[in-house]
């Protein structure tokens, strides 16, 4: 298909986390380095990688220091909600701070560090499929008076990444390029280091150092993944469909047992699944634009991912 994909938050496990594991001390206290002078507890790289730092999910990137920005009250919005120290709350801000630490430690711009993965940092020569604005655009206006960064087909969909927020997004690839980057990621052992059970998270999730556990309960990806035979290896599944997806099974509240797989999702659609026991890796390259050009809601996007993964499971004999 030769399409170019905005990998969105897959930059976290594929770019930022490996760099942090390679260059940074996981347990040194970084409060002072990052400007959190009034924080009463240590702030470590291990917390940032596992989303247990207590930082809220999101704040707009305006160039202001995050520690200062967080002192101001914001209006109610799911992305702006507070978090609990020690309970994993998925946050782009953790990886924004990791990028700051990496640039300070190495003296090299983050985008240049990230190019070693083989993925392309934005701005991109080949623009990916464009999707409408998402919830970060609505939250932007509630958290700052600064104008929303203008859109550009050659920059990420994420409003923060458009403004230059490093660490959490901003890389893309075509399918063959993505497969090569994944092969290097696995061979270097980064996936195995991330798939380490570190912390309990919101809604029963469990996080490692850059990946989270895929549970096998009804309607969860682990339910499908557990049927994939051993020795599947590395598979990149590309789906450029914009048709309305068939509904996925209902997502039950009980997460079930761990499936043996770990995963990460990207806001624009792509997904990554990894099984440490045999180093099998399944990735989905797809996007979240619907048949009328609309942004697919979270449940519709889950259905698109579910359908793509189910087709592969059926083909693999699972």
Tens-digit pLDDT profile for residues 14-62? 999 999 999 999 999 999 999 999 999 999 999 999 999 999 999 999 9
The pLDDT of residue 317: 67
Report pTM.
0.96
Residue with the two structure tokens 């499908």: 224
Distance CA 84, CA 312 (A): 38
**pLDDT (tens digit per residue) in 238-264:** 998 889 999 999 999 999 999 999 999
The answer to whether the bond into 165 is cis (omega within 30° of 0) is no
The pLDDT of residue 197: 87
The pLDDT of residue 198: 85
The pLDDT of residue 314: 87
The pLDDT of residue 15: 98
The answer to whether the bond into 123 is cis (omega within 30° of 0) is yes
Torsion, CA 22, CA 19, CA 139, CA 298, rounded to 10 = -100
φ and ψ of 281, to 5 deg: -140, 125
Query: Which residues of the chain fall below pLDDT 70?
Result: 1, 317-318
Across-strand partners of 206? 200
Helix/strand/coil percent split, the chain, to 5? 35, 15, 50
The pLDDT of residue 269: 96
φ and ψ of 5, to 5 deg: -115, 135
Pairing of strands 234-238, 280-285: parallel
């Amino acid at each position: 298909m030769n399409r170019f994909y905005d990998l969105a938050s897959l930059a976290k496990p594929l770019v930022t986390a490996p760099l942090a594991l390679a260059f940074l001390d996981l347990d040194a206290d970084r409060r002072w380095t990052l400007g959190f002078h009034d924080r009463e507890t240590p702030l470590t790289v291990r917390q940032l990688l596992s989303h247990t730092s207590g930082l809220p999910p999101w704040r707009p990137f305006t160039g202001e220091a995050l520690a200062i920005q967080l002192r101001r009250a914001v209006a109610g919005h799911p992305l702006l909600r507070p978090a609990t120290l020690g309970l994993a709350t998925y946050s782009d801000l953790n990886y924004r701070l990791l990028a700051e630490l990496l640039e300070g430690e190495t003296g090299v711009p983050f985008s240049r560090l990230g190019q070693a993965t083989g993925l392309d940092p934005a701005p991109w020569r080949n623009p990916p499929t464009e999707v409408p604005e998402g919830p970060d655009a609505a939250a932007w206006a509630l958290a700052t008076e600064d104008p929303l960064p203008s859109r550009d087909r050659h920059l990420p969909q994420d409003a923060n990444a458009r403004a230059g927020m490093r660490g959490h997004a901003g890389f893309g690839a075509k399918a063959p390029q993505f497969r090569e980057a994944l092969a290097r990621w696995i061979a270097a052992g980064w996936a195995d280091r991330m798939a380490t059970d570190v912390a309990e998270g919101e809604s029963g999730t469990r996080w490692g150092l850059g990946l989270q556990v895929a549970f096998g309960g009804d309607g969860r990806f682990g339910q499908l993944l557990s049927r994939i035979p051993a020795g599947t290896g590395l598979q990149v599944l590309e789906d450029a469909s914009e048709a309305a997806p068939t509904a996925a099974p209902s997502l039950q509240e009980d997460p079930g047992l761990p499936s043996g797989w770990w995963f990460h999702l990207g806001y624009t659609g792509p997904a990554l699944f990894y099984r440490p026991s045999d180093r099998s890796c399944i990735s989905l390259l797809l996007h979240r634009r619907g048949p009328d050009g609309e942004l697919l809601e979270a449940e519709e996007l889950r259905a698109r991912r579910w359908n793509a993964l189910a087709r592969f499971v059926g083909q693999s004999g699972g």
